[in-house]
Structure 1
């Protein structure tokens, strides 16, 4: 695995013809080649917020993607994408079952709010009974679902009107699941083909369609900076202004500001702090992306204190999602390191 995620993220999506292509609609939150090692001792104290701030912690499920997918991520992009469409449950060969994520979050990390990723549950899009059981588990554990991150559902800014409409409809299932679980939002991707202006116009149309359904179900629609034009803060802020709905906002991610990639890594990266400043006025969630840490416990690629100062200055109060995607620490240790760093920042801002 490369030293950090900016040098190895691979993204792909579902086109109108059902064929996967690299660099269109992102759904893999990371792509690596080595297994995580065993984590440290189980956490016993629930640490979901800081008495010095109004921020609360949630745990993004992708932080444990190898725990659920296991070696499936090592078999190649084409294999993973085709299998996700044909037999998604066969990809779940990790040590843990995604159904158990609520218990893992509260029992091992002391975090009682979670962010789900739909690709772990791809076969369960219309399985209401499964989600009833999932909700019962959450209630019994005292765990809440904050949002569902939606990937591999098509391009919400597709150039073809019919394909765009079908993509919106695929997202309806996950809005319904969010409502069933009591989640406040779904996170979607602003992807499409064409010039910045063309993609923006199509994304605004697709988001407006989806947001109308979200409003009808009481579920917010959030867009993350997640590759391509969406990692340009000014562009995504312009999309938000055009959609112009309090129910449709952003999920700024500390680390997802690469606009263009090559085989060797990111070749066009937007300034992450400028991007955070541009996206925070529309923020209804925040994703604290972490890769690697120095000997003092600071994240090596993002100044978390600077990022959280921007978050605070925007007047945001709410959940900050832990999303660890590094390779030097195990997933478990990386989650704990990210939490510890965030708690230090919460106390200072």
Structure 2
């Protein structure tokens, strides 16, 4: 089947180039065992706009490979970190201790925080989070903002309230020293769509505010209407703000075919600011069931991205012991970034060495 879908990309030269790169990367990662996809496809390519401007985002000022380009979101640790900071025997880890945990347990130098795990929304609490992250050499690369707000709500008053809610969290992100914050474009309500006429103006204002505070704004193929990746890419183009970038989530695509999923995700790479490297289910041998990771990394690198891959384990139920799956994903992504593609790791979904 063709790798290109009939959408706005077919009439946009930059998007045609990105899709072609993605298609080439798929071939290199799947059909050419032993080939180094970056060397074959990435050499001499100009960096994508987001990659060129990514110096504002933590650690993006140099060409980086391997483990220092991997982050972990605390969503993956929700079996250990409770919602709203309610620690106890079943969730013993406080959010403020996660930078140390991520650094010491996995050797990672970046942490991503989930807003629903904040124990408080005070300036003092946010400052404590930032201080803990800096002390451990594990800065906050992003805050995933969920909560009671809907920028696409049909009621203008509700949209105004949602914008104020998002602005408040941009400020908290700045106090915590986070490089970015993910803002939901909608609340996943039935019938909602990504309407540029509704969303462009508030997203520009939020991006302006974030720029003033040094916080990059991210929009993601996350819930509801935003899972329509071509529509999300069109929205980001319509906003066209230097402080607004896309966040590509590997798992949030309606495409059942893996090649079509890759082609869809490629639409987000021209403005890509962060990758949510999502893992869903693993078998007993450490193999990810739904899709392989190496071609996803190869296609993203071929498009010029040199930012972070933040590991997110998310299924309906939190895994009772997320550590083995996290370690497996770290190994798989690190291998895809620094090692040549091999038959043992790429054609199948194997991610353990």
What TM-score does the superposition give when structure 2 sets the normalisation length? 0.70
What is the CA–CA distance in structure 2 between the aligned matches of 1:51 and 1:278, rounded to whole Å?
A: 23
Write out aligned runs for 1:1-349 (5 A). 56-69=69-82, 88-90=84-86, 94-121=91-118, 124-125=120-121, 127-191=122-186, 199-258=195-254, 271-294=260-283, 297-325=286-314, 330-347=321-338, 348=340
Structure with more contact order per residue of length (Cα contacts < 8 Å, sep ≥ 6): 2
Contact map agreement 1:298 1:341 (CA 8 A) in 2: no
Q: Which deviates further from its counterpart, 154-163 or 334-343?
A: 154-163
Say which structure is richer in strand.
Answer: 1
Q: Deviations over 1:55-81 (max 9, x none)?
A: 701111100012112xx7xxxxxxxxx
Contact map agreement 2:87 2:93 (CA 8 A) in 1: no
Contact map agreement 1:289 1:325 (CA 8 A) in 2: yes
What is the CA–CA distance in structure 1 between the aligned matches of 2:283 and 2:103, rounded to whole Å?
A: 27
Q: Which deviates further from its counterpart, 245-254 or 327-336?
A: 327-336
Unpaired segments ≥5 residues, structure 2: 1-61, 342-353
What is the CA–CA distance in structure 1 between the aligned matches of 2:81 and 2:277, rounded to whole Å?
A: 21
Unpaired segments ≥5 residues, structure 1: 1-48, 73-87, 260-265
Q: Which deviates further from its counterpart, 90-99 or 133-142?
A: 90-99
Change in 2 beyond 3 A, CA 1:66/1:328: closer
How far is 1:182 from its partner?
2.3
What is the CA–CA distance in structure 2 between the aligned matches of 1:198 and 1:328, rounded to whole Å?
A: 32
How far is 1:296 from its partner?
6.2
Q: Which SS does the other structure have where 1:68 is aligned?
A: coil
Q: Which SS does the other structure have where 1:171 is aligned?
A: helix
Change in 2 beyond 3 A, CA 1:91/1:203: farther
Q: Which SS does the other structure have where 2:273 is aligned?
A: coil
Change in 2 beyond 3 A, CA 1:257/1:55: farther
What is the CA–CA distance in structure 1 between the aligned matches of 2:331 and 2:273, rounded to whole Å?
A: 23
Change in 2 beyond 3 A, CA 1:244/1:271: same
What is the CA–CA distance in structure 2 between the aligned matches of 1:50 and 1:57, rounded to whole Å?
A: 13
Task: Give the count of matched residue pairs.
Answer: 275
What is the CA–CA distance in structure 2 between the aligned matches of 1:51 and 1:219, rounded to whole Å?
A: 21
How far is 1:345 from its partner?
0.9
RMSD over equivalenced CA pairs, Å: 3.0
How far is 1:313 from its partner?
1.8
Change in 2 beyond 3 A, CA 1:279/1:52: closer
Q: Deviations over 1:65-101 (max 9, x none)?
A: 12112xx7xxxxxxxxxxxxxxx45587612212211
What is the CA–CA distance in structure 1 between the aligned matches of 2:278 and 2:194, rounded to whole Å?
A: 29
How far is 1:196 from its partner?
6.6
What is the CA–CA distance in structure 2 between the aligned matches of 1:226 and 1:167, rounded to whole Å?
A: 17
Contact map agreement 1:61 1:101 (CA 8 A) in 2: yes
Contact map agreement 1:308 1:345 (CA 8 A) in 2: yes
